[in-house]
Amino acid sequence: MDDAASYASLLSVCAQQIRQNGLKIFAISGAQGSGKTTLAANLQHILQQGGMRCGVVSLDDYYLSQRDRQILARKIHPLFAMRGVPGTHQIQRLYQDLQLQLEGKALSLPRFDKASDDVIEDLPTACYDVLIVEGWCLGALAQSAEQLALPVNALDLTPAAATWQGYQNQQLAQWYQPLWPLMQQMLYLQAPDWPTVCRWRKQQEEALWRARGTGMDAVSLQLFMLPFQRWTEAMLSGQIFHGVQRVQLNESRQVFY
């Protein structure tokens, strides 16, 4: 099966699962650059062509406002000023939205503007037959004390790093993990390894430079990726919600079976 056929087959299977099982929530997880957003958009297009009301929202749209992250940075650790890791999302709002969707009620989805690094106006209130949720840490699990004690990069060696890690871990256990069973089907786009994820993310940044003439340089991007490494590598190694359906990707982001 060639690459285009493999991808088309994946889309067809996902759409069929949603229709046949009457799924109200379909989740797509995967590391940065793995193609979650593209897959969600293509799946939405197919379902809408078939007459379904299909909404799409990213976990990124649930980021805390810049003001709220500054408060968190002062209270817990300065690194929480930067969006990204568990603990920097409006996770209780996501829970409420998932409950509304499962009950067949109207909801207003949030939006986050990465250019201004802040929340913007919600989407208009609507009812959806199915809601596609995509995000890099969907399905992530809290780690043991022994795992947290093992540094994965230079960030783990900085002052009060244990406080920063511990808060993320506590948030995962208390607020994030209870949401995973609400996502009736979860797909995980499995990257080959962490270096490949970093290369994919670099390609995304290069595309931004070509399109907009702005973006992160190589050093800034390397620093940006560090906070994501612990949870991403854990998920790649199999520490992930048991209900996930894995889709293996090769180094070119192509699906293979």
**What is the average pLDDT score of the chain?**
94
pLDDT digits (tens, 9 = 90+) for 166-177: 999 999 999 999
Structural tokens at position 166: 């511990």
Structural tokens at position 156: 């783990």
Average confidence (pLDDT) over 145-158: 95
**Residue 255 belongs to a domain:** no
Average confidence (pLDDT) over 103-110: 98
Average confidence (pLDDT) over 61-73: 98
The DSSP secondary-structure symbol of 153 reads S
Assess whether pLDDT exceeds 90 at residue 157: yes
pLDDT digits (tens, 9 = 90+) for 210-254: 888 877 888 888 999 999 999 999 999 999 999 999 999 999 888
Assess whether pLDDT exceeds 90 at residue 119: yes
Helix 36-49 to helix 3-21 angle (10° resolution) is: 60
Query: What is the predicted pLDDT for the residue at 257?
Result: 56
- How would you label 138-170 residue by residue, b for 16+ Cβ within 10 Å and e otherwise? bbbbbbeeeebeeebeebbeeeebeebbebbbe
Candidate from 21-30, 83-92, 163-172, 205-214 with smallest mean pLDDT: 205-214
Q: Which residues does residue 7 pair with via DSSP β-bridges, in sequence order?
A: none
Query: What is the predicted pLDDT for the residue at 3?
Result: 59
Assess whether pLDDT exceeds 70 at residue 2: no
Domain of 170, in residue numbers: 3-248
**Residue 105 belongs to a domain:** yes
**Residue 35 belongs to a domain:** yes
Average confidence (pLDDT) over 50-76: 97
Burial class (CB in 10 A: 0-12, 13-18, 19+), 75: exposed
Q: Cβ(241)–Cβ(184) under 8 Å?
A: no
Query: What is the predicted pLDDT for the residue at 214?
Result: 77
Alpha-carbon distances of 122 from 66, 108, 125, 171, 176, rounded to whole Å: 16, 6, 8, 25, 22
Q: Identify the CATH number of the domain in which residue 34 sits.
A: 3.40.50.300
**Residue 139 belongs to a domain:** yes
**3-class state of residue 137 by DSSP:** coil
**Residue 257 belongs to a domain:** no
**Residue 256 belongs to a domain:** no
Rounded Cα–Cα distance for residues 241 and 256 (Å): 22
Average confidence (pLDDT) over 87-106: 98
**Residue 253 belongs to a domain:** no
Long-range contacts of 91-98 (CB under 8 A, 24+ apart): 91/62, 91/171, 91/175, 91/176, 91/179, 92/175, 93/62, 94/59, 94/62, 94/179, 95/175, 95/178, 95/179, 95/182, 97/57, 97/131, 98/25, 98/131, 98/133, 98/179, 98/182, 98/183
Alpha-carbon distances of 178 from 71, 95, 190, 223, rounded to whole Å: 25, 9, 22, 30
Query: What's the total number of domains in the chain?
Result: 1
**Residue 100 belongs to a domain:** yes
Query: What is the predicted pLDDT for the residue at 205?
Result: 85
pLDDT band at 4 (very low <50, low <70, confident <90, very high): low
